Structure 1
Amino acid sequence: MKVFRLLVLLAVLVLGLIIGAVNMTEMSINLVFTQLHTSVGVAMIAALLVGVVVGAGLVLVSVVVPLYAQLRRANKAVPVTPVTPPQPPFAGR
């Protein structure tokens, strides 16, 4: 499984390098108080990264946190009974 993750990471890295190399045109992003000068490829990769982070945050807040709270409530509702380990059979000695 680690080899598969490494191959996926390498493929994403190569894809990012290709996007950055092909889109070398300079651009400027005008913000209210400042101006950012960068290439189109870097801006595309940054926008993709921001979108992934925002999407993951929305999924975390809207799905994971409520399910985790529901799981905690369910665990509190179940009474805890101690489990005794089974006794080994009598060997006759």
Structure 2
Amino acid sequence: MYADSTAVLGPLAAYIEPHSYDLCAEHSQRLTAPRGWAVLRLAEPDPGPLQPSSDDLEALANAVREAARRPHDRDGADAALLARPRTHLRALPDPDA
């Protein structure tokens, strides 16, 4: 924030932002700002909430089951909207495994 004379240091960027740079851990610890500037260090996000929970997976499974039901099995659903061709879902291997 140039106008505020503040350097913000936080987690790696999720997208390209002008005037922002990704730093390694060593350089982020040694970062200094110009005289009169403040350095605002943001905490790393907790990685726990970023992982899918069993509730998330159960909700996804329920949504897939609901979408797979035939239109006449649903109460009050618009059959014309739901009568589109069925698609098949596949599980793909984890690329990191």
Q: What is the TM-score with the length of structure 1 in the denominator?
A: 0.30
Give the greater-gyration-radius structure (CA). 1
**Structure 1 or 2: more helix by fraction:** 1
